[in-house]
Amino acid sequence: MFFLQDRIFAPMQKTTCSLDRCFLCRHSLPEWKELVAIKKQTFLVKKGRQVFAEGDAVQGIFFMNEGTVKVSKNWGEQKELILRFARPGDVLGHRGFGGDLQYPVSATTIEDTKLCFVDNAFLTSSLAANTNLTFQFMQLYAAELQRIEKRMRDLAHMDVKGRIAQALLDIQAIFGTGGDDFISVPVSRQDIASYAGTTYETVFKFFTELTAREALFTVGKNLKIRDRKDLEAYLKTDSFE
């Protein structure tokens, strides 16, 4: 028995979690975790699979334990605009609550991803029983609203090279770097284009400029920012006045 369309959950494999890493467990009362262990479902979603699609009916909410996910909206014909990248500890599907109970975005894995799911009824019970969890959700929504407002401002007022530069800096800030200074999660040029609101070809050309100046080093999808100041020089927006 499952809760959403079979086409979404067919690739998922059931697994377990430690009940201490995800957003729900971290902010719930210790005694509530015993009920979480009974009610939640934990799944491993393979790389490149959709967790849910824009327009699907909301049946519950997802909490990330491992992996990486891109959250996107349809943007024109056969295009997507990536709104954010999610990592362990983040929440997926929370924007679907309220209104007509449809997910307004899609979530797709970039790496193999482990996540937990709880249905609408148990989420409501959890919020009622755990005041700190409710407060943390308020903080989550407020932070996301601020982030989305900034993203929309940048898309509207920053030129394309600035948006790509910002995308690179954002991705490094989200995922961090390894011992070799490469960004820890490989991200495709198409995903960078979708995050920056531009095309693959534009990203490719700008990357060529950056690598020629040794501001950026690439090996396939692996990226290393060599000159942060070079990228920051592009982060200028037009005046709102």
Do 122 and 176 share a domain, yes or no? no
The dihedral sign for the CA sequence 179, 90, 140, 8? positive
Is the domain of 88 the same as that of 195? no
CB 57 within 8 A of CB 79: no
Indicate the pTM of the whole model. Answer: 0.86
The DSSP line for 118-147 is: EEHHHHHHHHHH-HHHHHHHHHHHHHHHHH
Choose one of 107, 122, 147: the last residue of a domain: 147
For residue 68, give the CATH number of its domain.
2.60.120.10
Predicted confidence (pLDDT) per residue in 151-195, tens digit:
888 888 899 999 999 999 999 999 999 989 999 999 999 999 999
Residues spanned by the domain of 162 = 158-232
**Measured between alpha carbons, how far is residue 157 from residues 130, 151, 172, 187, 215 in Å?**
41, 10, 22, 25, 24
Q: Is 155 helix (H, G, I), strand (E, B) or coil?
A: helix
Q: Is residue 241 part of a domain?
A: no
In order along its 241 residues, the chain shows pLDDT tens digits of: 334 444 444 445 566 677 777 899 999 999 999 999 999 999 999 999 999 999 999 989 999 999 999 999 998 777 899 999 999 999 999 887 776 788 999 999 999 999 999 999 999 999 999 999 999 999 999 998 898 888 888 888 899 999 999 999 999 999 999 989 999 999 999 999 999 999 999 999 999 999 999 999 999 999 999 999 999 999 875 433 3
Query: Do the beta carbons of residue 52 and residue 81 sit within 8 Å?
Result: no
Of the residues 108, 123, 147, which one is the last residue of a structural domain? 147
- Record the tokens describing residue 112, joined without a space: 């193999």
Give me the half-sphere count of Cα atoms (radius 13 Å) on the Cβ side of residue 196.
Answer: 30
Q: Is residue 106 part of a domain?
A: yes
How many separate domains does the chain show? 2
Q: What is the CATH number of the domain that holds 173?
A: 1.10.10.10
C-beta separation of 164 from 198 below 8 A: yes
Is 120 found in the same domain as 227?
A: no
Q: Does residue 238 belong to any structural domain of this protein?
A: no
Q: Residue 195 is encoded by which pair of tokens?
A: 């995050």
